[in-house]
Structure 1
Amino acid sequence: MMQAQLTDVLVARLLREHGGTKHGWRKLIGPVQIYSLKTHAHCNWAIHPTGTSSEIAMIEHLVDDLRMSHPIVTADR
Structure 2
Amino acid sequence: MTAADLRDLFLTTLTRRFGGNRRRWRMAMGEVKLHSRVTHPHCNWAVSPSGSAAENSAIEAVADDLRAAHPIIG
Q: TM-score, normalised by structure 2?
A: 0.96
* CA shift for structure 1 position 45: 0.4
Higher relative contact order (CA 8 A, sep 6+): 1
* CA shift for structure 1 position 68: 0.5
**Other-structure match for 1:59:** 59
Q: Where does 1:28-67 land on structure 2 (aligned, <5 Å)?
A: 28-67=28-67
Unaligned 5+ residue runs, structure 2? none
**Residue type of the alignment partner of 1:71:** P
Unaligned 5+ residue runs, structure 1? none
- Give % identity: 43
Aligned Cα root-mean-square deviation (Å): 0.6
Distance 1:55 1:25 in 2: 8
* CA shift for structure 1 position 73: 1.1
Q: TM-score, normalised by structure 1?
A: 0.92
Distance 1:58 1:30 in 2: 14
Structure 1 residues 17-37: Cα deviation after superposition (integer angstroms, max 9, x where no partner): 111111111111101110011
State how many pairs are aligned: 74
Structure 1 residues 30-62: Cα deviation after superposition (integer angstroms, max 9, x where no partner): 011100111000100000001111110000000
